[in-house]
Amino acid sequence: MMRQYELVERVQRYKPDVNEALLNKAYVYAMQKHGHQRRASGDPYFSHPLEVAAILTDMHLDEATIAVALLHDTIEDTSATRAEIDELFGPDIGKLVEGLTKLKKLDLVSKKAEQAENLRKLLLAISEDVRVLLVKLADRLHNMRTLHHVPESKRLRIAEETMDIYAPLAGRMGMQGMREELEELAFRYINPEAYRTVTERLAEMSERSKGVLGDIEKALSAQFEKYAIKAEVKSRQKKPWSVFRKMETKALSFEQLSDIFGFRVVVDSVEDCYRALGSIHTTWSMVPGRFKDYISTPKQNDYRSIHTTIVGPSRQRIELQIRTREMNKIAEYGVAAHSIYKDNAGKATNGAGHTISKETNAYGWLRRTIEQLADGDNPEDFLENTKLELFQDQVFCFTPKGMLIALPRGATPIDFAYAVHTDVGDTCVGAKVNGRVMPLMTELKNGDEVEIIRSKAQVPPAAWESIVVTGKARSAIRRATKNAIRKQYSGLGARILERAFERAGKKFSKDSLKSVLHRLARKDIEDVLASVGRGELSSNDVVRAVFPDYKEERATHPAKPREEGWSKIRNAAGMLFQIPGRSTAPSRKEQKAQGSAVPIRGVSGDLPVRFAPEGAVPGDRIVGIMQPGSGITIYPIQSPSLMAFDDQPERWIDVRWDLDEGSKERFPARLSVTAINAPGSLADIAQVVAANDANIHTLSMIRTAPDFTEMLLDLEVWDLKHLNRLISQLKDNSSVSDARRVNG
């Protein structure tokens, strides 16, 4: 185990003016607090925070970050408190340590939800100070290095969490070295057989290729000397996980991989990068489509380099990365290469105390992502969306004005629209890609110019959620869908309350609800309206809340047999739910009832409406039944199913048809058809339905006899006249014995 003075010496090598007192105090305090605690390996627990600190010294981080590494488990696993750490080490270090502490006593149903809430807390802490991220990744790296000591039942879960979240997070922050080690360690436990096979094949290939790799290095070095370019050339081998992932995603065998080995060219300046590229391309042929310039267009994690593939010496395909020494450092250590932390004045500074004026792209991306994802998602959604945002492979697209938009591979114009702005995504109705109108599910490619076509009347369809690949788009679509549903329920609730207040002889206004929100246990007026629309809050309760002296006069049914009581309700309701175009003119009483009834336009209207299984069509007298949480279910007044609600009058809603002329919406109806058992009978029935411009939604055989088959048809028709005409023509068909409507 590393001693106190050894830790101080490690930091002194890159920061001579190190605050030794801070490191010594943190070392002693953490060792005392962890006391006799042991790790799963049997080692003293304090060896873990010490190893985490050592990993961070390799990144040349400041002494405050090293102190946080030593203290990071004290609040979670010992008797230490935030107040005590604040007093001894200052509130800045105390805040960082608390940011690394998992939430305790989570009252959550699933392990996934608990994992998500801890991740949310961690990311919010990271967004305030990047040092939280650096310590957490070092903590995870040491835990993965010692995972073999953990009980086998926990290894897979920890490895999967590392592969899903922490390795991509390291990659997003540009810390490629840490990402590769985390992936390799996780791969070892997630798929041990594949890991062993790939590792063995790589070792064999490396041994066979030593001579060839050396020859290529010499040829490239000689080429650069010829052009007076000072360059360091070094071969590199793909990591096992990278090889396995490529084999899986592209369905390739190990022998088909052509880029297992690559070469890194490190030069002194950006100018030398392009000179080196020119010398290579003028000597060897470039492989088309394999050139990427991440110097002029850096990745979101600040990675900069030129990638090219050539047919080089020995006629082999050779992958090359050309970069400066500074770029190489950032590619390896990412945000840690900047050593950003905040001093007492709140300025960003590096490990030597020099002010840094610009926040890194990677850290800026992280903060923006957290702001987008942390608001309004439930734990599982947050975890899913965060995983989506952590994928590294990207495409770069442009707006018509030349603004660069970086997106994950597989992104669509919908993702592009939401990346520009949430309002652009919400109002997107189409897209032009490179000047041509393309489907919204088109997969975007590098260099595409995307123009979004918008409409203020647009509401993003819920189905978009299965098309998009970015967490921002998915989260925004879910939010818009929830808001649209809430708006529907709110509109329905307002109409129900208008009728309820009218029946009570009172005047309804939304403002009247403000003063009674506390009595209704709702946070705002829209919440009250939506709760009434969903059936969670009774309209009568709202009336009584606004007018405490109001006494409801409930209709009482005489003590008669259930069927007789039902008939009375049905007959009374039949007076209320008329439709235009009937043979007899409505009375004044009926007209008044119609005026107070909720207008029904169909399932595509602005209210949360669905139809009973037996259906209802314009021309039917209808009644609405409030279904808590799912809006109104519409029944034809003659449906026996309504008997189930005989003793629940508060759920009955006055409704009426209110269709625009020329409406193209079809409505559901159910028929029972008895057909003769003969070849072609079903075809005859289908032909009659088609000839009458109706649509069969579902068909099922409910009883089969030697001579007859009884079938149930769920149809979609325009109205009652259309349905009656269809029934009449079915009865006239020689293949049909009987056809009748099913009302329940």
- The one-character DSSP state at 44 is B
- Characterize the bridge pairing of strands 736-741 and 667-676: antiparallel
Which class for 485: exposed (0-12), middle (13-18), buried (19 or more C-beta within 10 A)? middle
**In sequence order, what are the residues at sequence separation of 6 or more whose Cβ sits closer than 8 angstroms to the Cβ of residue 737?**
674, 675, 676, 708
Give the CA angle between residues 544, 549, 551 to the nearest 5°.
70
Phi, psi angle pair for 171, to nearest 5°: -65, -40
- Give the DSSP letter string of 513-524: GGGGHHHHT-SS
Strands 631-636 and 609-611 come out as parallel
What CA–CA distance (Å, rounded) separates 465 from 446? 23
Please, are residues 520 and 545 in contact by the beta-carbon 8 Å criterion?
yes
CA distance 66 to 48: 13
State the Rg of the chain over Cα.
35
For residue 173, how many other CB atoms are within 10 A of its CB? 26
Q: State how far Cα 111 lies from the chain centre.
A: 18
SS3 content of the chain, % helix, strand, coil (to 5): 50, 15, 30
- Per the CB < 8 A criterion, the answer to whether 18 and 35 are in contact is no
List 670's β-bridge partners, or say none.
Answer: 714
Residues known to be catalytic: 76-77
Query: Contact 460/477 with Cβ under 8 angstroms?
Result: yes
d(CA 416, CA 440): 10
Looking at residue 503, its amino acid is R
Which tokens is 269 given?
């300046």
- In terms of Cα–Cα distance, which of 47, 112, 32, 15 is closest to 78? 32
List alpha helices for 129-261, DSSP H. 130-145, 152-161, 167-172, 176-190, 192-208, 210-226, 240-250
